Structure 1
Amino acid sequence: MLGNKLSTLINKHVKNNFWLYVISLLCVFTGIVMGIYSVRYMGGFEKSDLVSYFNNFTTTVNSGSVNYKSILLQTLKNNVPVILAVWFLGLTMIGIPIILIIDVIKGFTIGFSISFIISQMGIKGVWISLLGVLPQNIIYIPCIIFFSVLAMEFSLMIFKDRSRIQWKSHILVSITSYSISFLMVAMVMCIGFFMETYLTPAMIKLVAARFQGILL
């Protein structure tokens, strides 16, 4: 019953904000494409630094001395400020362009990571991308898009209703409802945080064991 009600609410939200979802999705995929192509124009020095960093991370994972707490804290550090920034921007009337830029940046990060790993490691990189990068991003991408649409929807509502006295008297209720929606999506995104913390190192270790000489 609860699942059906939640599904109905999500479907209704998507239907009512269809074009916002389309715009957000396009920004994310634009960022992914930009990230993919940017790898082709990187200099040798930058590539060497990134390969060295990835080599060290993979060696650490393969040795079994993984600091899961450190990985979790870094994951939270990378994502929580973005969530809070999008939430705050939704409370303004001028936040939509910045929200869309954030979507592009998140897409760029994903596209760059996958493209770089594959370009440097070939088929081995494909497996690392499939097992170590994509799983958590299957959670992250829908959540980021949902965050963005919630924020843009609220921002537009403020812009449209800013002169209505009745709306002003219920602003606290509106912000509370908006914040609760954000919190619910954030709880779903936490699944991705734990996947990145505990699943990704295990998958990288599995691939490294399967393909000896994986590091370049």
Structure 2
Amino acid sequence: MRNRFSSNLITRHIRDYSSIYTFIMVLFLMGIIFGAVLVNSLSAPQKEDLFYYLNQYFTKVSAGETASSEELFKLSLLHNIKFTGLMWVLGISIIGFPLIFILIFIKGIVVGFSVGFLVNQMGWNGLLLSFVSLFPQNLFIIPVIIFIGACSVGFSMMLIRKIFIRKSITFQLTPIFSKYILAFIAAVAILTIAASVEAYIAPALMKTIITSISN
């Protein structure tokens, strides 16, 4: 019964926010494409400098000289909570909700640029390296960002509609805001899993791939 209720709740949420989800996912994909194309705009010296620093990092990873897993976990979790938390707060601010779209687009650019640069410099090895270094944690992070983005935009639009457009309708903030808080708590829980993957699994996978490429 509980599983059916949860399934119905998720289905209704997706149906109610389908247009927002569609727009956000298209915007994110556009960011990825733009980020990948942006790699080609870099000059040869810029690519060489960036790849030099990237090689330095890969050398440290293969030698096990990077930060501890506990430190990586804290940094990853804090960064992602700040990012999603900013979108969450922008949803409450009403007038700041357009910035949510900009943040999602920027996230897409970062992902697209990272993958595009590795592929541009290392070919298939770069694609494999980007897969093991970016995919595991982003498998959790990207859906959370899209989810919080949709919830934040939906909440902000609901506030605008209730406060400014339909003033005659009684506005019950408490139950809606409670769901909004629960959405962020759920996001933090999933981001904790993502931080664990990024700190404890991704480095080991990267080290394995870097070692095999070097040999």
Question: Normalization by structure 1: what TM-score?
Answer: 0.90
Report the counterpart of residue 185 of structure 1 in structure 2.
187
Per-residue CA deviation, residues 32-63 of structure 1 (Å, 9 max, x unaligned), is: 00000000111223322321222122111111
Aligned-partner residue type, residue 65 of structure 2: S
Report the counterpart of residue 170 of structure 2 in structure 1.
166
Please list, as runs of the form range in 1=range in 2, the aligned pairs for 1:79-98 lying within 5 A after superposition.
79-98=80-99
Report the counterpart of residue 24 of structure 1 in structure 2.
24
Give the Å deviation of 1:23. Answer: 0.6
Question: Taking structure 1 as reference, are residues 3 and 47 closer, same or farther at Cα in structure 2, changes over 3 Å only?
Answer: farther
Report the counterpart of residue 51 of structure 2 in structure 1.
51
Helix, strand or coil at the partner of 2:170: helix
Report the counterpart of residue 147 of structure 1 in structure 2.
148
Report the counterpart of residue 129 of structure 1 in structure 2.
130
Helix, strand or coil at the partner of 1:94: coil
Give the Å deviation of 1:164. Answer: 5.0
RMSD: 1.8
Helix, strand or coil at the partner of 1:178: helix
Q: 2:206 aligned with 1:204, yes or no?
A: yes
Kept in 2, the 8 Å contact 1:95–1:152? The answer is no
Aligned-partner residue type, residue 61 of structure 2: V
Aligned-partner residue type, residue 64 of structure 2: G
Give percent identity, aligned residues only. Answer: 28
Aligned-partner residue type, residue 81 of structure 2: V
Gapped regions of structure 1 (runs ≥ 5): none
Question: Normalization by structure 2: what TM-score?
Answer: 0.90
Please identify, of 101-110 and 175-184, the stretch whose mean Cα deviation from structure 2 is larger. Answer: 175-184
Question: Taking structure 1 as reference, are residues 55 and 2 closer, same or farther at Cα in structure 2, changes over 3 Å only?
Answer: farther
Helix, strand or coil at the partner of 2:93: coil
Gapped regions of structure 2 (runs ≥ 5): none
How many equivalent residue pairs? 211
Q: 2:62 aligned with 1:62, yes or no?
A: yes
Question: Taking structure 1 as reference, are residues 208 and 54 closer, same or farther at Cα in structure 2, changes over 3 Å only?
Answer: same
Distance in 2 between residues matched to 1:9 and 1:149, nearest whole Å? 15
Aligned-partner residue type, residue 11 of structure 1: T
